[in-house]
Structure 1
Amino acid sequence: MCKKKILIIDDDASQLELLNIFFSGRGYAVHCSATAMAGLEARATFHPDVIVLDIRLPDMDGIEVLRSLDTGKSSINVIMITAYHDMETTVKAMKLGAYEYITKPIDVDELEDAVCRALKNSELREAKELPAVKTFLQKGPMIGNSKPMKEVFKMIGVLSENNVTVLIEGETGTGKELIARAIHDYGPHKDHPFIPINCSAIVGTLLESELFGHEKGAFTGAFATKKGKFELAGEGTIFLDEMGEIPIELQAKLLRFLQDKAFQRVGGEKFLHSKARVIVATNKDLLQMVRAGTFREDLYYRLSAAKINVPPLRKRREDIPFLLDHMVKEINAELGKRIDRVDKKALLRMMEYDWPGNVRELRNVLTGAAISTRGETLLDDAILPFLGAGTVQDIFPPGAALSLREVEREHILKILHYTNGNITSSAQILGISRPTLRQKIRQYKILPQQ
């Protein structure tokens, strides 16, 4: 049986050697290139099944290399690797046909899993002409380096490439509208309107008119014909938030629209058509509502074909330091503050708090605390009134503050203490790979039993 071939293009000599040894030991035929030009030449002579490509190369940008590879016309899958979190570059790479995106330092087990999936995808694409699966990384205010959020970002990338209806499930304040906007912004109709509608804020009798429009004289006060959001959206996106609040009689009309893209204005007889995409969100359990008879079963299954589950903040606590950094910078600009440090006790309190209001609550707490902050440090005394009478062990001296690097170090220390130094368990909780955790332990000079 012929060996599967892997071409690795990276200017890091030590990493090339490591990956060469690893994949050769796994039975692959491996060819390494340290420059883009050498990689392109090897592609023509080595005929790889998978290409592992670094985004930053000395002689050519990885995006240009990917464009030159023209993955759309071959079954070769490209796995991008990078030490940077450049969103625009990543999105370009995914749209040009990259199969997967992995950040450095590389976990070889994770990379091998990606290679296996890429090979399987190539086989399926050759046999059935299936499109390559694409991934996505975060954009703008969507912050997260945890494993659950990375899965959300990948789903955004997949769903932004088509016009399928999407159901976004998650608790209040988790950022469901941000996800809907990201799907729209990276989709083929990003230049068309994105129209959000909060279904819980409009009474049922008016919601139908809001969505589908009405004819003159359709009801008291209808003095003129009005276009609904589905007409106004054109080929854009309608985002229906709080989907569980839509009256059951209106659910049938929405289902008809999703099936046929046809609707009638209130009081009208003519069927109109719209190319608008529909993305819906809910903080309720729609399947439970189906069982209770308050939500249509056929509509639920129509919506749930493409679904994103957004993790609550308490399930991705390791993202809190990154969110703090981003939000504090925004709040500084809004309020004219100059906060650049977080009190250790305040950090510990925020890391241990369960955040029932999720990211939205975190933003509100930080804003309230920043208003009363006069200096450059966000103190625990400023945070406490917004979180209630929670208790935090007084393990830090008064006034102690953390830089962002120290924030990460303290959190890693806490998790290692919680797991009694178990690297595997700690890495799972932190949402990072074992090699990444080991590198951070060395970087921050964390000693055993510290």
Structure 2
Amino acid sequence: MSEARILIVDDEPSALELLEVYLSEKGYEVSCAMSGSECTRKVASFKPDILILDIRLPDADGLDILKRLKEEKSTAHVIIITAFHDMTTTIKAMKLGAFEYIPKPIDVDELEAAIGRALELSKTKSSGLIIGSEGELQEGEIIGRTKEMKEIFKTISILSGNRVNVLIEGETGTGKELVARAIHYNSPYKDHPFIPINCSAIVENLLESELFGHEKGAFTGAIATKKGKFEIAGEGTILLDEVGEIPFELQAKLLRVLQNKEFQRVGGEKTLKSSARVIAATNRNLLRMVKNNAFREDLYYRLSVATVKIPPLRERKADIPAIVQCLVRKINRDLHKSVEQVGGRTLQRMIEYEWPGNVRELENVLTRAVMYMQGEVLLDTMIAPLLQPKEICVTEPTGPERENKNKGAGSRETERERIVKALQEARWHYGNTCKALGISRPTLNKRLKEYGISPKPRNYQGND
């Protein structure tokens, strides 16, 4: 190992000697100090890579020394050690920029691991992805430099100039709503409302009222007349997200709106006109649903006058570095962090990962990593534990290449098996099952009914 310089500052001679012997035997160049003033002199002359600093010193507070070093832009990574550890001191030390905080008596394995991480951080600074401060991710911005994404940008330009219905297909987390918003906000009707509706998150008997409104007294709880989204949208855009979850009976009423641009409120007799543009989005294969009589064929063709297919992140890995840059800038702003670089090995791991949750998962992983990290470089050790393979996924493939690659993987039987497996692993707790599958409770209820899965087996002992 190339020698790294470590300065130990502690006013206890025995502790100082033990650490000096231990770290010297590990191959480090070690120097010691027993006071704040001696620490200051040796930081200037010895120029340590790592400073192991006790908080309680005879002539100084270790936190004051830490603060001064950070103000002077010292490159030494500071590991705070103390026998008088408490929550307030820990929080203060980390906010001041301590790399690690280790209580006494010192666990040497924990200390050595912290030293290893600090040295890896120093090495990584010489390579990797520079985050920079330019090009912060703007609201609604879509990042993409690959050929596939450039084609989508062209399609958005074309579709924003007309009012045809659009079907956006893509896996969960690929940015379907972002594409829909881009079409709307680049159109002549951008000053009119853009109204997204998650069709899977609304109970079946309330979805019709949500879309078309209702008259007072139309059903129990309808204490006043309410306008629906088609009425509120005016000449704007309605996004029907997860359109494949719309009940079959309601699909006929939606078809009438698309065909005749008119509808009636629930419980009403007056025919109302709609000028709203409809954009539908789905992570399911609607054409397959049509063949299985789970979705109306006439509605499918009304919705898919124009189709946008968003590729999953694993099929446009060349975009990952640019997406990471923009996301980290956004996370820096939101979490008040100052990450300046992503290590080369870290970036390579993210490029090689399959990202079943796509850009949404990438943002989640980066946020979790940055939230807990210290320093300015995002290391592989911070990302690797967060990239666990997903064993359960109910998302159906939408592209022909995906269908050929995983032939039969999106079949009804395979999906049914995955749901049953998730229920069993969650001990038939519906809330935990929804979290595991990444679906809403109404969607789970629909799947149970669709696949004939018994809601609760006789031996069920858990709580709903």
Distance 2:335 2:379 in 1: 17
- Taking structure 1 as the reference length, what is the TM-score of the superposition? 0.55
Distance 2:195 2:178 in 1: 13
Query: 1:235 aligns to what SS in structure 2?
Result: coil
Change (3 A) 1:288 1:389: closer
Query: 2:308 aligns to what SS in structure 1?
Result: strand
Change (3 A) 1:139 1:221: closer
TM superposition shift of 1:282? 0.1
Distance 2:255 2:331 in 1: 42
TM superposition shift of 1:305? 1.7
Where does residue 58 of structure 1 map in the other structure? none
Query: 2:205 aligns to what SS in structure 1?
Result: helix
Where does residue 8 of structure 2 map in the other structure? none
Query: 1:232 aligns to what SS in structure 2?
Result: helix
Where does residue 211 of structure 1 map in the other structure? 211
- How do 1:291-306 and structure 2 match up within 5 A? 291-306=291-306
Where does residue 246 of structure 2 map in the other structure? 246
Q: Which of the pair has the greater relative contact order for Cα pairs under 8 Å at 6+ separation?
A: 2
Query: 2:180 aligns to what SS in structure 1?
Result: helix
Distance 1:304 1:225 in 2: 33
Distance 1:314 1:181 in 2: 23
Distance 1:381 1:372 in 2: 12
Q: Is the 8 A contact 2:140 2:181 kept in 1?
A: no
Q: Deviations over 1:261-291 (max 9, x none)?
A: 1000001111100111110100000000001
Where does residue 377 of structure 1 map in the other structure? 377
- How do 1:85-96 and structure 2 match up within 5 A? none
Where does residue 142 of structure 2 map in the other structure? 142
Query: 1:240 aligns to what SS in structure 2?
Result: strand
Query: 1:200 aligns to what SS in structure 2?
Result: coil
Distance 2:147 2:372 in 1: 35
Distance 1:282 1:148 in 2: 19
Distance 2:242 2:340 in 1: 36
Change (3 A) 1:339 1:179: same
Which amino acid in 1 is paired with 2:267? G
Where does residue 386 of structure 1 map in the other structure? 386
Where does residue 65 of structure 1 map in the other structure? none
Change (3 A) 1:140 1:292: closer
Query: 1:201 aligns to what SS in structure 2?
Result: coil
Unaligned runs of 5+ in 1: 1-86, 88-137, 391-450
Q: Is the 8 A contact 1:170 1:176 kept in 2?
A: yes
Where does residue 343 of structure 2 map in the other structure? 343
TM superposition shift of 1:139? 8.6
Q: Is the 8 A contact 1:215 1:265 kept in 2?
A: yes
Where does residue 200 of structure 2 map in the other structure? 200
- How do 1:243-392 and structure 2 match up within 5 A? 243-388=243-388
Which amino acid in 2 is paired with 1:366? L
Query: 1:307 aligns to what SS in structure 2?
Result: strand
Which amino acid in 1 is paired with 2:290? V
Where does residue 186 of structure 1 map in the other structure? 186
TM superposition shift of 1:372? 1.5
Where does residue 161 of structure 2 map in the other structure? 161
Q: Deviations over 1:423-442 (max 9, x none)?
A: xxxxxxxxxxxxxxxxxxxx
Query: 1:272 aligns to what SS in structure 2?
Result: strand
Which amino acid in 1 is paired with 2:159? L
Identity of aligned residues (%): 67
Query: 1:267 aligns to what SS in structure 2?
Result: coil
Distance 1:206 1:139 in 2: 31
Which amino acid in 1 is paired with 2:152? V
Query: 2:305 aligns to what SS in structure 1?
Result: coil
- Taking structure 2 as the reference length, what is the TM-score of the superposition? 0.54
Which amino acid in 1 is paired with 2:180? A
Q: Deviations over 1:314-357 (max 9, x none)?
A: 00000000001100000000011111111121111100000000
Change (3 A) 1:165 1:389: closer
Change (3 A) 1:375 1:284: same
Q: Is the 8 A contact 2:140 2:182 kept in 1?
A: no
Q: Is the 8 A contact 1:139 1:182 kept in 2?
A: no
Distance 1:214 1:147 in 2: 46
Which amino acid in 1 is paired with 2:354? D
TM superposition shift of 1:188? 1.0
Distance 1:201 1:139 in 2: 24
Distance 1:232 1:252 in 2: 21
Q: Deviations over 1:370-411 (max 9, x none)?
A: 011111100111111210279xxxxxxxxxxxxxxxxxxxxx
Q: Is the 8 A contact 1:165 1:306 kept in 2?
A: yes
Distance 1:181 1:309 in 2: 15
Distance 1:278 1:288 in 2: 22
Change (3 A) 1:338 1:300: same
Query: 1:266 aligns to what SS in structure 2?
Result: coil
TM superposition shift of 1:141? 2.2
Which amino acid in 2 is paired with 1:146? T
Distance 2:389 2:287 in 1: 36
Unaligned runs of 5+ in 2: 1-134, 391-464
Which amino acid in 2 is paired with 1:193? P
TM superposition shift of 1:312? 0.3
Distance 1:309 1:232 in 2: 28
Query: 1:158 aligns to what SS in structure 2?
Result: helix
Which amino acid in 2 is paired with 1:282? T
Q: Is the 8 A contact 1:193 1:236 kept in 2?
A: yes
Change (3 A) 1:139 1:367: closer
Q: Is the 8 A contact 1:335 1:371 kept in 2?
A: yes
Which amino acid in 1 is paired with 2:324? L
Query: 1:385 aligns to what SS in structure 2?
Result: helix
| 4+ long deviations beyond 2 Å | 138-141
Query: 1:217 aligns to what SS in structure 2?
Result: coil
Q: Deviations over 1:12-63 (max 9, x none)?
A: xxxxxxxxxxxxxxxxxxxxxxxxxxxxxxxxxxxxxxxxxxxxxxxxxxxx
Where does residue 233 of structure 1 map in the other structure? 233
Alignment coverage as a number of residue pairs: 255
Distance 1:344 1:186 in 2: 37
